[in-house]
Every structure is written in C-alpha cells, then in structure tokens.
Amino acid sequence: MEKKPRSVRREPPPREVPALAPALLLAAVLFLNGLLYLYLSNVHGSSGRAGADPSLCPLGSFRLGAGKNCSPWLSCEAISKEVRKLKRVGEGAVKKVFLSEWKENKVVLSQLTSLELQDDFLHGLKMLKALQSKHVVRLLGYCERQFTILTEYHPLGSLRGLNETLSMPRYKGFNTWHRRLALAIDYVSIIRFLHGSPLGTLVMCDSNDLAKVLSQYLLTSDFHVLVNDLDALPLVNRSAGVLVKCGRRELRGEFVAPEQRWPHGEEVPFDDDLMPAYDEKTDIWKIPDVANFLLGHVEGSDIVRLHLFDIHAACKKKDPAERPSAQEVLDTYRKVLTLLIREAAVPSTREML
C-alpha cells in the first residue's frame, strides 16, 4: 500500500523589517530636535531682540524700521521740531502718553502729568537710559527740561490686552500653550534681568495688583514681552542693609507679598515709619499669578500648570528667604517648555513612521 506523503506545514517567513525604517526614525528624531532647538533658541532670546540683533545700537543711539544706520537719541530741539503728536492713547499717575510720528515712523511721546511727580518721572528716565537692552522698550530720545520721553511704538499695546489680541482672527494661530508659556518665560527673564541689572538689584514696585503689573509690559508684534514703565524701580543692596518699601501707603490683598502687608493688625493704624522694608523676593511672590494669566485657558495649559506646580508653590512661600530666585524660576520654566515640546514631538514621530 502506497503511503501518502505527509503534508509539511510551512511556517510563514519571518517578517522583515525594512532596513529603511531605522534610518527614517533617526532622521525624524533629528529633524524634530532641530526644530526644537530653533524654537527654544528663539524663545530664550527672550524679548524678540537677541543680544546680537542688528537692531540694537550702541548706547545713546537707536535704529527704527528698515533703517540701516543708528541715529543718536533725539534732543529737545529735535523732538520739538521733528515729532508730531497724533492722539492721546493713555494717561497714568506720572505720564500722559501720545501716539506720535517721527519721519513717517509711529512713536510714543510721554509727558509729565504734574510737577509734583517730576522725581518719579526723572527716575523712570534714568532707568530707561541705563537699562537699554533686549528686555526694555527702545528709547528714541528725551528732553529733561520739558519732561518728555520718546520711545518705540508697539501697536499691540500692553499685556493687559493679551486675551483680546489672541481672540482676533489674525492672531488665533498664536493662541497655543507653548506660545503662551514663551510669554511667561519672557516675563520671568525680565524679572531676572532687573534683579541682576547693571545698576544692582532692582524691585518692580509698581505692581500692587495684576492689572497694574500687566500694564507695565508691552506685547511686541512678534509676540514677545518688553518692560515699558520703570518709574518705580528702587534698588536693594542687602550687603549694605538697604531694603525697599513700595510707596508710603498701606498695601492690601493676596496679590502683594505677605511682607508688603501691614504686620501690626487692624487695631493699629497704618504708619509708614513702623512698616518694615523688604527685598526683591516680592517680585517672586507675584510670578505665579502673572504666569497664570499669561497661560490662559487653551488646550495644554493645564498640563503646563501641573508641571509648574512645585516651583509656583515655592514662589508662594511666606518666608521670602525660602522663595527661589528669578534665575531658578526661569530655569524651571525653560526645562518645562523643553520637556513638553519633546513629549509633543514623540507622537508626531510615530505618525511619520
């Protein structure tokens, strides 16, 4: 009897991984890392004007628009002859602010509101001249005897209008968690700059509520932050025992730091002579509140807040000495941005494969 040949079960050949896949994966990772590097380099440049930016001129001069040459700060005579007021756009306790024009460029002309406040005005001018950098609005000229300051114009205005700006159709593409976190990084970069300025440790005193803080900073057209108002910027010199007090009136509310509030209870009337002085850590206390506003309520912002929870909790320590420095806060913000962008890049890399 003839035996039937046994059927031999054939295993399917092992699945071959295309040799190209690892190369594609590596290329994708390198590409995304390159994008991340470029993005963070732009963010870490802070205020839209990195140190090597050709728009920065030697101290005492400026460049506007597409101009190639640096012009000296405008003098009293030049401001009187060449600058034309267009309309008043704001007024604070110290300055009236006018949208103006100089050689077909929109500029901002600020003038003293009352001679009683001339010391504040001149202090702000002194700070503006001494602190010109990528963090500070560009000074174009001034006239001390007429109490006039000329600065660069930024059409998006102060940070108070951020949410309204981002709701406009042309800017909705900027309304993302990473762009908003970049603005918070700019803000903390400015605080770090003031705390380690060429003049010493400066405290941002004009900051008794959130709206007031936001009004001190400008939003540039390329979505960065500049400090604009430097009228109340006292100096701390801890080694010499020099501390500060932000004004002579009582400060209230949770926004200001605990050490800025009257420590002797309601039964004792406020007396500035009995009010203890403090240092720059008052600025650190306010960072979480400002950052919370800047982060807004867009997709991903709650994840950012979660990653910033520990550093923000440290900023709110009652003892100022236990709060982190502005540099430590800045380092944490940058690490969180890097981490979250890398995490967001991983799913994109998988989809590419």
Q: Is the pLDDT of residue 171 over 90?
A: yes
pLDDT at 136 over 70: yes
Average pLDDT over residues 92-99: 93
Q: Which of 118, 153, 188 is the last residue of a domain?
A: 153
Q: Is residue 272 within 8 Å of residue 239, measured between CB atoms?
A: no
Task: Judge if 288 and 229 occupy the same domain.
Answer: yes
- Please give the Cα distance from 134 to 174 (Å, whole number): 21
Q: Which residues of 132-159 are buried (b: 16+ CB within 10 A; e: fewer)?
A: bbbbbbbbbbbbeeebbbbbbbbebbbb
Does residue 19 sit within a domain?
Answer: no
CATH number at residue 138: 3.30.200.20
Q: Look up the pTM and report it.
A: 0.84
Q: Do 245 and 289 share a domain, yes or no?
A: yes
248 belongs to a structural domain: yes
Q: What's the domain count of the chain? A: 2
Is residue 33, in this structure, part of any structural domain at all?
Answer: no
- Residue 328 sits in a domain whose CATH number is 1.10.510.10
238 in a structural domain:
yes
Which of 27-31, 86-90, 247-251, 304-308 tops mean pLDDT? 304-308
- Are residues 131 and 166 both part of a single domain? no
pLDDT at 27: 52
Cβ 216 vs Cβ 202: under 8 Å: no
pLDDT band for position 21 (50/70/90)? Answer: low
Residues 233 and 312 placed together within one structural domain of the fold: yes
Beta bridge partners of 100: 85, 107
Predicted confidence (pLDDT) at residue 333 exceeds the cutoff of 70: yes
54 pLDDT above the threshold of 50: no
Residue 140 pLDDT more than 90? yes
Per-residue model confidence as pLDDT tens digits over 255-312? 999 999 999 999 999 999 999 999 999 999 999 999 999 999 999 999 999 999 999 9
Q: Which residue would you say has higher pLDDT here, 344 or 198?
A: 198
Least confident of 66-70, 174-178, 303-307, 345-349: 345-349
**Roughly how many angstroms between the first and final C-alpha of the chain, as a whole number?**
57
The single residue listed with the structure tokens 């867009």 is 298
Taking all residues of the chain, what is their mean pLDDT, rounded to a whole number? Answer: 87
Show the domain range for 207. 154-344
